[in-house]
Structure 1
Amino acid sequence: MLRTFLLYIYSLLLDLPRVASGKMITGSVMDEATKQPLVYAQIGVKNSPLGVITNEEGNFSTNLNRASSTDIVCISVIGYQAVTLLVSKFK
């Protein structure tokens, strides 16, 4: 059974106008149970070349200026269940 993970998005709580303007967003991906950072997690927009991976501390930064509010953000790590969210959820 795959472990689930919790995405901690500290500064990803954006409103859509800021997303549309291309502001940089940052966040961390961590294990829900242990609160340990997940290294090299993939964060990307489905069916798009937009995407990044987390660093050695589980942190990432990117912008969604080319993503629409109906696009889907996928967060995945080997050994964990993937999480998908609409871009519009990042308020």
Structure 2
Amino acid sequence: GLMGAGRSELFDCIMGRHGHATGTIFIAGKKVKERDTTRRIRRGLALIPEDRQREGLVSILSVATNLTLASLSRFVRLFHIRSAKENQAVAQ
């Protein structure tokens, strides 16, 4: 869409970044009921931010961790990131 048409704001709402948005989201004909961003990611929704340098990376974290942030729960056990498993996923 055109600049200023609300494209970024719409996707922010879909991802749950604006808590007071209203409406209904469907994926493959099924209603998405989850309001939590993490659950929406598990359902296959993802947002690549327009300003990736400001919003797309956590600069104090490693490249591997930035690559796996969306699925970090797969690599955490008892509040500790299992680096070997994370690095294996990144290598793939």
For normalisation by structure 2, the TM-score amounts to 0.23
For normalisation by structure 1, the TM-score amounts to 0.23
Name the one with the larger strand percent: 1
Name the one with the larger helix percent: 2
Higher relative contact order (CA 8 A, sep 6+): 1
* Larger-Rg structure: 2
